[in-house]
Amino acid sequence: ICSFIHSPKGFPKLKNDTFLRAARGEETEHTPVWCMRQAGRYLPEFRETRAAQDFFATCRSPKLCCELTLQPLRRFPLDAAIIFSDILVVPQALGMEVVMVPGKGPIFTEPLKEVEDLLKLRQKVDVTAELGYVFQAITLTRHSLEGRVPLIGFSGAPWTLMSYMIEGGGSTTMAKAKSWLYRHPEASHRLLRLLADVITDYLVGQVAAGAQALQLFESHAGHLGPEQFQDFALPYIRDIAQAVKSKLKEEALPLVPMIIFAKDAHYALHDLAHAGYEVVGLDWTIQPQEARAQTGKDVTLQGNLDPCALYAPKEKIGELVKKMLEGFGTQRYIANLGHGLYPDMSPEHVGAFVEAVHAHSRHINKH
């Protein structure tokens, strides 16, 4: 378990900056790689560390978050770490109760049902008071990484968080949340604005605590059509990038690269590439060449191997990685899966994925 060093400044010098260089569009010797949900239940040591603890109690323990973040890096030569946390800590900061039910996932004890329920939410959130445990986890982890790789911070995006807050948990249709967009557009915008403001402060706080890159997860983008995405998701995605950057400047904090990952939002790739993020993350349902054509030359792409490809034999994983690298090219590119790792995946196959990215990209770069 991680040791704590008291001075939050004076972080160890970064030894492997490949991920950050790729994010900024600089040349790299190999294509950097990390995995969404790389700290996850597919690792036996993760299951052991988490066994006795309530999920959100784990999220509130900087020591445990640090340990879980570091576990995959002890096994695999990944090029980035991502802090162990959850997107639903933001609704908690707004005063909502969320419990993790084994086998079911997150459940909100009192989801938002009527427009009046918005009044129950905290209208002003002191992120340090409410989410300081995430900042502590980031600072502790940044020290404990000893400069091995950069540390990524993250948040859910406004529409995705709104959908959870109204649905009260996962949903296949998002019908309750989407009905708000059609029936209560003004109230929806009020909620999305409140979320965007809190997320902005939360992301800036993560950089102040030591995060070296930020990813915004619009995981439920695919439930919206192009028009609703234009109205209720994209403006807030744009605002967050702009507001985070201007606050980082104001507070003399490092301008870290930002990644937007909007799952299933192919219809919006061109707009996302111009939304103020250095990196656009892709799910597995789009061809590399098609994604490049839509996003242009000025952003780095991240993704997008089908997570289920990791069930294939190791040689096959290598072939799929090679094909993916040939599609995207090895530069201005960060290899990843098109979504997170699943709990029943073999750690050896995750290792085969990471090694294939390094080996094939080095080979392509030489020749």
Q: Quick one: CA torsion of 358, 360, 362, 366, rounded to 10 degrees?
A: 180
Alpha helices of 41-184 — where are they, by DSSP H?
44-50, 55-59, 62-75, 89-93, 127-144, 158-167, 175-183
- Which residue in 66, 76, 74 sits closest to 32, CA to CA? 76
Catalytic residue positions?
37, 41, 50, 86, 164
Grouping H, G, I as helix, E, B as strand and the rest as coil, residue 211 is: coil
Inter-residue contact 79 to 34 (CB < 8 Å): yes
For 263, other C-beta atoms within 10 Å of its C-beta total 19
Q: Quick one: CA torsion of 83, 320, 292, 163, rounded to 10 degrees?
A: -40
Q: What Rg, from alpha-carbon coordinates, does the chain have?
A: 20
Cis peptide before 16 (omega within 30 of 0): no
- Which residue in 302, 358, 331, 360 sits closest to 79, CA to CA? 358
How many angstroms separate the CA atoms of 185 and 155, rounded? 24
Residue 126 sits at φ, ψ, to 5 deg, of: -85, 100
At residue 160, what is the residue type? T
How many angstroms separate the CA atoms of 12 and 142, rounded? 8
Distance (Å) of CA 325 to CA 19, 226, 229, 294, 312: 16, 29, 30, 18, 18
